[in-house]
Structure 1
């Protein structure tokens, strides 16, 4: 554990708590189907711990997320707080199920307690990528029906990496699910191991002292989380599971209330859930949480890749692996900073990196890559259908990574920043900045554009350097 000079964790926490406002959480229901959505407020709570964020960094100007929420003074309209985010509901809307029925998902908005009544609004991007209001509710955080005190859970966070007062740091909470009481030491070791790995990856490495990392877990009766496609069902405090939306490797929890009730016992702005399983899997929702299988051979990669989604709003750059989402066939410009539909090559998102000599689109050995990927995906499906051991799948993953890395290393534009077709789950029509990146395959590094996107998000939470 790293501590600020001459300060204990308790002293840091005490100084932060003395000056910070309370934390408000608005829980609401987000429901609908593929073509409609509705919102309804459920409750307003004051969380047990003070606001962990920097009050000088209240307004989000990063332009990330499908949605954004704003907190405004109810009388003057002054903008007091804003953050971009995405939702599980938004992902579900693109699945086959959403075309057949309506579902409801619980979501939460958290912000520092205001002194007066406020209007809380949710905005959503339109087809032109502009945020437009879709729902608002007036909130008086001093009203009688606001939940101001909750039973003591007895949960105490483990300080994994503490660099200073929460107001001056990015607070990441690592949560565990599927760890029995006898495995609590394993959870702490997993959390420390993966936090340590995060700080070996640029740009997190260079910003290690801008982070606090905490860990918390509620023991489960059985080891591991549910994996319905294999008939495995385990009860757990967070309800994390595989097979979300029918995608076997996709791990999420749909129990937002359980997540928030446990998380509120630690200072946090971001959450990564470790599931105590060996089977490869994970997930990440911008501004909500990310997940990773802690005992997988690929846990280091999963932890960083999925955190890239959750923390920085990075898009997946791969396009050959199966996903739960259904393509609409449209090629609108994505909001994510690392992929583009390249409607206007002269205004490419990352044009500051381009050389005048770089062709757009930028050629790469796509045909060879695609042919090998089809063979790889066929073998992957065969292993899964035969219920082969996870070790065989890991060998396949490693072989595929070595094959693609060798192919890309020999390509003429290996170190070029351009626009390489194939990204955002689509083989054509979307482009990524570099041939290889941790958001493209299971490699170890972010590309330059992703590094900038991560650094910009860190800047949103920590004070400017003198």
Structure 2
């Protein structure tokens, strides 16, 4: 009986999703992006017609949010008319800011997806410069009717599970939760993890108020071993998505570099955004705007990880913390970030979130920065020692709780505790970059987004499921 109800729910979900019978096919362009800190190059791999129709609303083809280090533009190959656009960032873009990129070149797999148009198109990948202007980095003509376009896909290795179906895909944001490191016996655990964490996402504003604008699907291909690879501890578990810890040498950074595997599994469910749950207890996650995010589902801080990393992937929110070690090198010259929740504050009178700033608020805004940094240095020393000694994760979780408790106590009596202003310290930098609020999910393991981050998230929800702009 349970199997029948599960099948019925899946069938109902699929029928609902494809209620828009006129949806075009989904085209995916797979390519390689290679280079180093000073140079990058592109090369086509293949053009794919995915098994499912385009999940988006054709009336919302144009992206006006100005997010991402890159921008996809699909134009009419003959007239040059713009047909579709989206901002995004890449794993390559993060890697090229690491120390390694100054020594060697690497190649990364990437993909862009767009609705199939009646005519041949030119796909352009644009890159943002230090002045925040976009210029074309690569372009290629794509004819979906060409003979070398891949049209037949291997059968799906797993079926999507409808977690929440609010309506037809073109009218909703489609979130796909993928699982990695779950064995066949752990498939029920994956579904429970997906339901638990998506439920938490929709308890946090502004996702809470916009929950009905989302469809949520879950999909996992079983692995032979439980958990994903963590090379720094000698754990190497092959998995369907190739997700692993220790990306760019950061023990807590979790990504997959196997874009082909990711896309070939994801294409069997409707999606616009992806969060990968890894079946591990060790704290870790990651998020790339417009690509995917990850979170360790069995960690005590899984709720925070899921929401924080999804903030990166979904809305392009910047990290507001700056005392934790990261793999990235500092940006020279402190250029103005494109992210909506960080600024170089070159002109306080033109602060990007000034509508939230009350008259008389000092810019920069005072906060107990020195005391916070002193406590943070001690905390980071303890954290590094626990990881070096490979101590049980329970000890790390206890340290995180202690750190958050101390931060809350330090901030509790501050006059600007709930002020929106410009607080120095953000974007991995102690000076020169500013965040909107003293505390936010993007700053520490808090429970809420600040109003500026909420605006940034709402902009993206509206892009996919808001009122159609005339």
TMscore range, shorter length:
over 0.9
The DSSP-based 3-state class of the residue aligned with 2:410 is helix
Among 12, 16, 23, which residue is 2:16 paired with?
Answer: 12
Cross-structure match for 2:409: 406
Whether the 8 Å contact between 2:182 and 2:279 is mirrored in structure 1 is yes
Cα separation, 1, equivalents of 2:449 and 2:434: 16
Cα separation, 2, equivalents of 1:104 and 1:201: 37
Whether the 8 Å contact between 2:18 and 2:169 is mirrored in structure 1 is no
Cross-structure match for 1:134: 137
Matches within 5 A, 1:71-150: 71-150=74-153
Cα separation, 1, equivalents of 2:15 and 2:330: 51
Question: 2:245 matched to 1:245?
Answer: no
Matches within 5 A, 1:221-240: 221-240=224-243
Question: 2:341 matched to 1:333?
Answer: no
Moved more, 322-331 or 246-255: 322-331
Cα separation, 2, equivalents of 1:206 and 1:339: 24
Q: Deviations over 1:168-213 (max 9, x none)?
A: 0000000000000000000000000001001100000000000000
Question: 2:307 matched to 1:289?
Answer: no
The DSSP-based 3-state class of the residue aligned with 2:243 is coil
The DSSP-based 3-state class of the residue aligned with 2:465 is coil
Matches within 5 A, 1:414-425: 414-425=417-428
Question: 2:263 matched to 1:260?
Answer: yes
How many pairs were matched up? 460
Cross-structure match for 1:4: none
Q: Deviations over 1:265-311 (max 9, x none)?
A: 00000000000000000000000000000000000000000000000
Cross-structure match for 2:370: 367
Instruction: For residue 465 of structure 1, report the CA deviation from its aligned partner.
Output: 8.2
Instruction: For residue 85 of structure 1, report the CA deviation from its aligned partner.
Output: 0.1
Cross-structure match for 2:8: none
Cross-structure match for 1:445: 448
Cross-structure match for 1:393: 396
Instruction: For residue 410 of structure 1, report the CA deviation from its aligned partner.
Output: 1.1
Whether the 8 Å contact between 2:232 and 2:246 is mirrored in structure 1 is yes
Cα separation, 2, equivalents of 1:71 and 1:329: 32
Cross-structure match for 1:316: 319
Question: 2:383 matched to 1:380?
Answer: yes
Cross-structure match for 1:59: 62
Cα separation, 1, equivalents of 2:449 and 2:219: 28
Cα separation, 1, equivalents of 2:277 and 2:380: 26
Cα separation, 1, equivalents of 2:221 and 2:239: 8
The DSSP-based 3-state class of the residue aligned with 1:429 is strand
Among 343, 356, 364, which residue is 1:353 paired with?
Answer: 356
Q: Which 5+ residue runs of structure 2 have no aligned equivalent?
A: 6-10
TM-score of the pair, normalised by structure 2: 0.96
Cα separation, 2, equivalents of 1:391 and 1:23: 44
Instruction: For residue 153 of structure 1, report the CA deviation from its aligned partner.
Output: 2.1
Cα separation, 2, equivalents of 1:292 and 1:271: 11
Q: Which 5+ residue runs of structure 1 have no aligned equivalent?
A: 2-6
**Change in CA separation of 1:109 and 1:279 when aligned onto 2, cut-off 3 Å:** same
Cα separation, 2, equivalents of 1:424 and 1:29: 28
TM-score of the pair, normalised by structure 1: 0.97
Q: Deviations over 1:5-33 (max 9, x none)?
A: xx9324313413x2210000000000001
Q: Deviations over 1:213-245 (max 9, x none)?
A: 000000000000000000000000000000000
The DSSP-based 3-state class of the residue aligned with 1:356 is coil
Cross-structure match for 1:435: 438
Cross-structure match for 2:217: 214
Moved more, 150-159 or 220-229: 150-159
Cα separation, 2, equivalents of 1:286 and 1:179: 25
Instruction: For residue 328 of structure 1, report the CA deviation from its aligned partner.
Output: 3.6
Cross-structure match for 1:40: 43
Cα separation, 1, equivalents of 2:146 and 2:32: 20
Cα separation, 2, equivalents of 1:441 and 1:328: 22
Among 307, 310, 324, which residue is 1:307 paired with?
Answer: 310
Cα separation, 2, equivalents of 1:10 and 1:285: 28
The DSSP-based 3-state class of the residue aligned with 2:442 is coil
Cα separation, 2, equivalents of 1:389 and 1:9: 41
Whether the 8 Å contact between 2:72 and 2:85 is mirrored in structure 1 is yes
